[in-house]
Amino acid sequence: MLQAVHSSGKLVLLMKQSRDEIDNLRGGAFYCPHCEERVMIRSGPRTVPHFAHYRRSTCVHNEGEGGYHENGKIQLYQWLKKQGYDTTLEEYVPSIQQRPDVLVRSKTHTLAFEYQCASLSLTEWQRRTTGFKRAGIIPIWIRGATSLGKRKRMTQALSSLDQAFFYQLPRSPSITLYAYCSDTERFILHQHPYPLSSTRALTTVSSHKLHSLSLSTLLTFTRPLHVESYFHSIVLSRKKWRSMRPNQNPNSKENQWFQWLYLKGYHPSLLPSICCIPVLEHEWGEPNYVWQSRLVLDELDPIQIGGVYSYFHSNKKKTGVIHYMDVLCRLKIFERVEGGYVKRKPIVFPECVPHAYEQDEALNNKLCIALF
């Protein structure tokens, strides 16, 4: 952390001190503003001056993020300050007992920038997010770029925490994960996520120099979707799901899905093609083919022609269900009416594997028109 409380009660921000002043401060006693534990000064030729907890600290804010994180906080603070915003570093918000990395006040909103480089439990992330919202503060979570998993072609490895960082601000047309690299001073934006598994997704990526962006531009930027290459990657992923096998983790959602499918008397190779349709706007946690096949087999297939499916009476409360049903409407399988969707055509199950791939190919051609 960049500031701590001196034994005199004064809050000391090290980034505003000269090297000689920091050396003079080393003899004093400093305490964490959060837990009130004793902390030490760390400073050197290659180290951003900051305060650190001792090894046996139990403070929940002792995340050990180091110079990469401290540099990033300072860079973001200075970037926002230069734009004329009322900006503070590590300001304590007493009503929720939280201290965001950078707090920004504009004429209409208060924003909390959290630059998260270390690991963080989803429970703690949710607690902090809820706290900010309760205080009327909009949280802007920014992932440390080096904390993200490997990228392969158009796909990105994403942990559960990374997935939680995808969100859509009111003025932004796209779901976005904001990442920042303090070494290169660049923002990396991941957009248009399409989950392929519980840990990997297709995303579009754009990189921006910090000082080439304003805050407004950052929060509203959307990279245009290259339809052909993106759809080609989706088609390839659709081919793979039919030949999938259970993985080594018996508790994974994919393996639970295999068990459920087995008990239903089905195999992925003979499921209807509509069980794996690209839907970009849905909650994270499981691949499209998992929740879509459950929806099709449990709820949509049993409906008679002319029967009505009401999403609001469904147990599957996913944001993507409405978008999925809208695609089925474009495919003329359902028709949207007030209060639900009327079934107009039967759902066709392939009789053999070659028939399944023919069905996939036919659906791919229709989807390219229906979706894009």
124 in a structural domain: yes
Instruction: Compute how many other C-beta atoms are within 10 angstroms of the C-beta atom of residue 61.
Output: 14
230 in a structural domain: no
Question: For the domain that residue 148 is a member of, what is the CATH number?
Answer: 3.40.1350
148 and 195 assigned to the same domain: yes
70 and 24 assigned to the same domain: no
81 in a structural domain: yes
Last residue of a domain, one of 225, 252, 274: 225
Give all strands (DSSP E) within the chain, no chain letters.
3-6, 11-13, 30-31, 38-44, 47-53, 86-89, 102-105, 110-116, 138-144, 151-152, 155-157, 176-181, 186-195, 200-209, 308-309, 334-337, 340-343
pLDDT on residue 280? 59
328 and 285 assigned to the same domain: yes
The gap from C-alpha 275 to its chain's centroid, in whole angstroms, comes to 24
Q: Is 118 helix (H, G, I), strand (E, B) or coil?
A: coil
71 and 174 assigned to the same domain: yes
Last residue of a domain, one of 225, 256, 290: 225
Over range 81-90, report the average pLDDT.
94
Distance separating alpha carbons of residues 222 and 233, to the nearest angstrom: 20
91 and 13 assigned to the same domain: no
Instruction: Compute how many other C-beta atoms are within 10 angstroms of the C-beta atom of residue 2.
Output: 19
Residue 313: pLDDT over 60: no
Please enumerate in sequence order all residues whose Cβ is within 8 A of that of 320, keeping only pairs 6 or more positions apart, or say none: 279, 281, 282, 283, 288, 291
257 and 350 assigned to the same domain: yes
235 in a structural domain: no
Judge whether 203 and 156 are in contact, CB under 8 Å. Answer: yes
The whole domain housing 39 covers 3-53
89 and 10 assigned to the same domain: no
212 and 70 assigned to the same domain: yes
Evaluate the CA torsion angle 298, 304, 305, 310 in order and state its sign.
negative
165 and 313 assigned to the same domain: no
Find where tokens 């229906």 sit: 370
Res. 315 pLDDT band, cuts 50 70 90: very low
Last residue of a domain, one of 225, 255, 273: 225
pLDDT on residue 245? 76
Distance separating alpha carbons of residues 323 and 303, to the nearest angstrom: 19
171 and 254 assigned to the same domain: no
Contacts 24+ apart (CB under 8 A), 309-318: 309/334, 309/340, 309/341, 309/343, 310/339, 310/340, 310/341, 311/340, 311/341, 312/339, 312/340, 316/291, 318/282, 318/283, 318/291
182 in a structural domain: yes
pTM score, two decimals? 0.73
pLDDT tens per residue across span 217-263:
999 998 877 666 666 777 777 677 777 777 666 667 778 888 899 99
234 in a structural domain: no
219 and 251 assigned to the same domain: no
Instruction: Compute how many other C-beta atoms are within 10 angstroms of the C-beta atom of residue 357.
Output: 15
pLDDT on residue 111? 96
232 in a structural domain: no
Distance separating alpha carbons of residues 163 and 177, to the nearest angstrom: 8
pLDDT on residue 49? 79
Find where tokens 């949509």 sit: 300
The number of folded domains in the chain is 3
100 in a structural domain: yes
Average pLDDT, the chain: 85
25 and 125 assigned to the same domain: no
